[in-house]
Chain A
Amino acid sequence: MSENINKDKDVLKIGKYFFSSRLIVGTGKYPDFKTMKDSIEASGSEIITVAVRRIDFSAKENMLSYVDLDRFTLLPNTAGCYTADDAVKTLLLARELPVFKTDMVKLEVIGDEKTLYPDNEELIKAARILVKEGFTVMPYMMDDPVLAKKLEDAGCPVVMPLASPIGSGLGIRNPYNIKIIKEAVSVPVIVDAGVGTASDACKTMELGVDGILINTAIAGAKDPVGMALAMKDAVKAGRLAYLSGRIPMKLYAQASTQMEGIVF
């Protein structure tokens, strides 16, 4: 192990919070709460995202019975909000729920129903208000370095560019922009949305980003618990590969066995 990289103490810092896992998982789209519980536990994640919704009085089960609040940090999202005002209101409402033990929030302000791409203008507007309100704002954003800088300047202690559209599983469509974002900002970069399978997660981490947020790729897999385990290992492997430094790519072969002492 390299002396100048302490891989055992490689922690993810988001604002004033520290985490050892670099994988954040969503809780949506699972076939049932038991599978959700088993999958988020298998993922090794410490942060899980949840929505804030009207209580369904006819529901037979309560999601809360399946979430260990001592083990996970719950991150309220603003999924479905199309304006800064709605997103801010949703999170102010979430603040009244004691299940949220931190001021961390996932901010998304959707601009288009088909692509679920964010509305940049409303996103920045909401981020500024929420930062002033004292939230640790984690914005889901386009893979745009200029926007990333603006959100950092607005006070977001992390930026979360998409790899590809939410739930698409297309993987990382513009790795170069993600690398530029990583260079452009000094806050951590967490890739949020689009990862389809373990190799996507690994390749994304190899770019040097600080973490990944995954929901559909795990929840929608044939075996969500198995995929959660795969994602956990992929994120770890990708991070370690990044820290360890990959070899440069060459066009021609370079023998790995020495020629000296060859007999024939």
Chain B
Amino acid sequence: MNVEINGSIFEIENETVSIEKLILNFNLDLKSTAVALNREIIPKSRYKDTMLCENDCLDLVSIAPGG
């Protein structure tokens, strides 16, 4: 299935993938990653049981330099 992640389209082979699994597959640290799925904020407690669907739009965010 195709999923938009941070503005780019990614093809995901596994049809049942959770947000947690996706974060780990990207080699990201769960503690320093926040998630918005289709513009809605997903609480950390739901990463494990929230499954991605075709054409989902995901934002994976963290801290960046700023004033």
Interface residues of A (CB under 8 A from B): 26-30, 36, 49-55, 57, 63-64, 67, 74, 76-77, 79, 89, 92-94, 96-99, 166-167, 193, 213, 215-216
Chain A residues within 8 Å of B66, by CB: 26-28, 49-51, 53, 77, 79
**Partner among B28, B41, B64, B65 whose Cβ is within 8 Å of the Cβ of A93:** B41
Q: Known contacts A89-B41, A96-B41, A96-B44: does B33 contact A29 (CB below 8 Å)?
A: no
Q: How far is the CA of A97 from the CA of B61 in the complex (A)?
A: 9
Q: How far is the CA of A213 from the CA of B67 in the complex (A)?
A: 8
Q: Please give me the 7 A-B residue pairs with the lowest Cβ-Cβ distance, nearest first.
A: A51-B66, A26-B67, A215-B67, A53-B64, A96-B34, A50-B63, A28-B65
**Partner among B26, B41, B60, B63 whose Cβ is within 8 Å of the Cβ of A64:** B63
> B47's closest neighbor in chain A, by CB?
A96
Q: Cβ of B65 and Cβ of A29 under 8 Å apart?
A: yes
Q: Is the interface of A mostly helix, strand, loop or mixed?
A: mixed
> A213's closest neighbor in chain B, by CB?
B67
> B30's closest neighbor in chain A, by CB?
A98
Q: How large is the interface on B (under 10, 10 to 19, 20 to 34, 35 or more residues)?
A: 20 to 34
Q: Known contacts A89-B41, A93-B41, A96-B41: does B63 contact A54 (CB below 8 Å)?
A: no
Q: How far is the CA of A27 from the CA of B34 in the complex (A)?
A: 20
Q: Known contacts A89-B41, A96-B35: does B61 contact A49 (CB below 8 Å)?
A: no
Q: Cβ of B65 and Cβ of A51 under 8 Å apart?
A: yes
Q: How far is the CA of A98 from the CA of B43 in the complex (A)?
A: 12
Chain A CB count within 10 A is highest, among B31, B41, B42, B63, for B63
Q: Cβ of B61 and Cβ of A63 under 8 Å apart?
A: no
Chain A CB count within 10 A is highest, among B34, B62, B66, for B66
Q: How far is the CA of A67 from the CA of B29 in the complex (A)?
A: 15
Sample of 12 A–B contacts (CB below 8 Å): A26-B65, A27-B66, A50-B65, A52-B34, A55-B26, A57-B6, A63-B63, A63-B65, A76-B63, A79-B66, A89-B41, A97-B32
Knowing that A54-B61, A98-B44 touch, tell me 19 more A-B residue pairs with CB under 8 angstroms: A27-B66, A27-B67, A28-B67, A50-B65, A55-B60, A55-B61, A55-B62, A57-B6, A64-B62, A77-B67, A79-B67, A93-B61, A96-B43, A97-B62, A98-B31, A98-B32, A99-B31, A99-B32, A193-B67
